[in-house]
Amino acid sequence: MLGPSGCGVAASGAIAPHTNALASEAGKERADYRPATGYFTGSCEGPQRYSKRPKQSKMAGSASVLVIQSDWHDTLRDNDSSAWIFHKRLGEKGEYGKIGGSASDGIFQVHSRTERTIAVSHHPSGMSTIFIAPVATFNHIHAKSVIGLDVGNGGLGVSVCSENKLHVWETESGEVRRLLEGHFFDVYTCRLFPSGIVVLSGGGDMQLRIWDAATGQCPVVLKGHTGAVLDTAFVDRGKNVISVSKDGTARLWNCGQSKCIATLLTAESTITSCAITDVTGLINLPAPAEIPGW
């Protein structure tokens, strides 16, 4: 489904035809924001970590992933120590192994390593990933699982945790600058407008809220969804935004007029994610190896 300005909406965990919008499951305990030079991650451990963008090779067949011990860069400084690593292919049982020290096995192979990077492959599948260590870890922003996060170019970040605390903080120091309060139920998504000083949030109260990060005030509340708001996306510089919801709709909003100006898509089930792309030509999506089940 294509909306105005090449908007792509992904519904019910699928990829919408002719868009690059990828859907993910609602209620996830991890959220990543990845600008051109790096990305912030939030996890169930609470702290935010800033890293450069990792690279992961493509592979034939079912989707798979490599996961490494989170503090591998500290653990492997001791040549006698090892770190655990895990490979999981969709629909199959995962494999654990170790790298480094005397505990390394033949299933996982280290191809290169620097002080902050390590390239590892899973020999049976041919899967390889370059892991890049965080340059900063902030342990004091949240005490509970981070479920939504975004950063801007102006030095501010915004994140929300399972305690429903929506914080604005400095990306340089991790110092919390604002606690944004106003949602009646859980907040599921938060983003910084392209300006870097305005926050957009949505949650279980079926509302979207626009906040001034400098003052913490909320001058705009967008109402119209009949289910929890799960994700949002900005159109261009943010005059318009898209939201998707458990009510099965994707809506287009005019922020200046504080109203919904179009319903882009109505699905029979929850719409979990949305993304914006510039459609400059036909995107040729090959037939999937397996038809997704619903």
* 46 and 61 belong to one structural domain: no
pLDDT in tens, 67-116: 999 889 888 888 788 899 999 988 888 899 998 876 566 789 898 888 88
What total of structural domains would you count in the chain? 2
* 210 and 69 belong to one structural domain: no
In a domain, 79, yes or no: yes
* 166 and 61 belong to one structural domain: no
| β-sheet bridge partners, residue 105 | none
Mean pLDDT of 242-267: 95
Q: HEC string of 103-151? A: HCCCCEEEEEECCCEEEEEECCCCEEEEEECCCEEECCCCCCCEEEEEE
Residues 6 or more apart whose CB falls under 8 angstroms from that of 54 comprise 129, 130, 131, 132
In a domain, 281, yes or no: no
Single-letter amino acid code for the residue at 9 = V
In a domain, 283, yes or no: no
* 118 and 8 belong to one structural domain: no
Which of 132, 147, 173 finishes a domain? 132
In a domain, 291, yes or no: no
* 229 and 102 belong to one structural domain: no
In a domain, 85, yes or no: yes
Question: Residue 70 has what pLDDT?
Answer: 86
pLDDT over 80 at 281, yes or no: no
* 141 and 268 belong to one structural domain: yes
* 122 and 246 belong to one structural domain: no
* 110 and 211 belong to one structural domain: no
pLDDT in tens, 180-197: 999 999 999 999 999 999
Q: How far apart are CA 2 and CA 16, in angstroms?
A: 9
pLDDT in tens, 194-224: 999 999 999 999 999 999 999 999 999 999 9
In a domain, 172, yes or no: yes
Q: Which of 12-26, 81-95, 146-160, 266-280 has the lowest mean pLDDT?
A: 12-26
Question: Residue 100 has what pLDDT?
Answer: 84
Q: How far apart are CA 33 and CA 175, in angstroms?
A: 19
In a domain, 191, yes or no: yes
Helices and strands, number each (H, E), in the chain: 1, 26
In a domain, 109, yes or no: yes
Which of 115, 132, 149 finishes a domain? 132
Instruction: Give the containing element (helix H, strand E) for 13.
Output: none
pLDDT over 80 at 53, yes or no: no
Structural domain range at position 210: 2-51+136-276
More confident residue, 235 or 44: 235
> 44, 43, 65, 47: which is closest to 56 by C-alpha?
65
* 170 and 186 belong to one structural domain: yes
CATH of the domain at 213: 2.130.10.10
* 72 and 123 belong to one structural domain: yes
Q: HEC string of 35-57? A: CCCCEEEECCCCCEEEECCCEEC
* 79 and 66 belong to one structural domain: yes
* 104 and 148 belong to one structural domain: no
